[in-house]
Structure formats: C-alpha cells, structure tokens
Amino acid sequence: MIRVKNLTKEFGSMDNGGGSVLALSSIDFEVRDNEFVTVIGPSGCGKTTLLRIIAGLISYQHGEVSIDSHPVVGPGPERAVVFQNFALLPWTDVLGNVTFGLDVRGATKNDSQAKAKELIKLVGLEGFERRLPKELSGGMQQRVGLARALAVNPRILLMDEPFGALDEQTRRLLQEQLLQLWERERKTVVFITHSMEEAVMLGDRVMLMTPRPGKVKEMIAIPLKRPRPPDIEKSAAFIEIKEYLWENLRAMQTDQP
C-alpha cells in the first residue's frame, strides 16, 4: 500500500529576491495494493511533483510517504516510472532499452533477453527488437518504455502522462493495451493525466487535485465494470463522472483571481 500523509512540498525561488513556491500542501491519500488510481487536476497543481516524490526522485519538507509502512527515502526496486517523454537510451536498440534495468540488477544476459523479448511481444513490438528509438513512432517508443518498466517486475507503476504527447488514435490503442496488461499483471498503478476521459477510462478511483498549492479535493470511485470494453465511454455512468470532473476543474480554474 502507498500511503501519503500530510505531505507538503515547497520549492525555493531561483531569483535574487528569494522566496519560495508552495507546490503541495497537506496531501493525504492511500493507494491500495493492485489498485489503479488516476490523478487529475489543473495545470501546475503539482501532479508530477507528487509522482516524483512517491518515486523517491525528489525530497519533501513535511509529512510522510511510505510503501507498506516503509518510508520512501529514494528510488526502490518495487517501483518503476514511465515518463511522458519516453526517456529511452538513444544509442541502443529496443532490446537494449528493455533489458537495461535487468542488466543493472545483475540478471544474466540470457535471462534478461528472454524476459525482454517476452515483453516486447506483449506490447506489440515483436520484429522491432533491433530498431533504434529514432526509428520508431511516438507510440512505439512509449510501448518500449512500458516494456522496460515491466521488465524489472515492479509491484508499483508510476506513470506521468505517458500518453500525453501521442495522437488520439495511438492514445486510445495504448489505453486499451495498458488495461489489458493491468488485467494480466495486476500492478499497483498511479497514473497522472490531464484527460478527463483517460482518468475515468483507466482508474478504479480518480484523485482530483486543487490548483497550486495542490491538495486532494476528492477521491472519486469509478463504478464501471472490468474489464472495460472500448465502448464504455458511451455509457451514462462514464459520461456522468466525466462531466462531474469537468464541472469541478472548470470551477477551480475560473474561480482563480
């Protein structure tokens, strides 16, 4: 279980005048084992900062962040991050990118390549093992990033708008593929998004955040059956939750001075 309690994050100012920016304030929530939680909020509300804190990539001033009651003090083998910008190694091919984490952890070459090839096939890239990232489309690169994260068999996937830079068709296909992978693997997932449709389509719950300083406004349960069919967006329940999110997001942003 991921537990965040009374979390506050402040960034110091880089200008000569000093000062600071309060990014997150009194954040409280839990993510249950094998749960898929999507996070949405106005731009600049601290979603990515929150994810990076859970990943152990940046520090925080106050509060507690723990996984199974163990404080997060840095990156750990139980967590893997999938970024929006793919973050692939440009000098090595698809196979090399997917085996990277396994190699770092001391797996034998045969074991790491066998695992990588299995995952490359799973994400629909069989036959592209020897292609460099620059030879792949954005959607294919994101598939490589997902396979690389899954290769180290993390219990927790932290995903920072992984489909945000993709075209709509590719985005929808990868959403469906991610749901299929989650049904098979049942990882704990925290998924940052700016898309209301994506938040509802993927999540067991949606965490709605306020404008900066980011706080948890509401945790919204998604009462949609799993596995989610592609036409679930046409259902009355889906539309109702999406409109509820939009009403809240619109109100939060139009009420700002």
pLDDT in tens, 220-241: 999 998 998 878 999 999 999 9
- Residue-level pLDDT at 19: 72
- Residue-level pLDDT at 210: 94
- Residue-level pLDDT at 205: 97
Is the model's pLDDT at 65 over the cut of 60? Answer: yes
Model pLDDT for residues 122-133, shown as the tens digit of each residue: 888 999 999 999
Is the model's pLDDT at 4 over the cut of 60? Answer: yes
Contacting residues for 29 by C-beta, under 8 A, at least 6 apart: 4, 207, 216, 219
Q: Top-level CATH class of 1-75+158-163+186-257?
A: alpha beta
Every domain of the chain and the residues it spans: 1-75+158-163+186-257, 79-153
Is the model's pLDDT at 72 over the cut of 90? Answer: yes
Runs of H (alpha helix) within 26-167: 47-55, 94-104, 109-122, 138-151
Is the model's pLDDT at 16 over the cut of 60? Answer: no
How would residue 184 be classed by pLDDT, with cut points 50, 70 and 90? confident
- Residue-level pLDDT at 128: 94
Is the model's pLDDT at 155 over the cut of 90? Answer: yes
Q: What is the mean pLDDT of residues 103-132?
A: 88
Q: Which residues of 85-106 are buried (b: 16+ CB within 10 A; e: fewer)?
A: ebebeeeebbbbbbbbbbeeee
HSE value, Cβ hemisphere, 13 Å, CA-based, for 102: 24
How would residue 51 be classed by pLDDT, with cut points 50, 70 and 90? very high
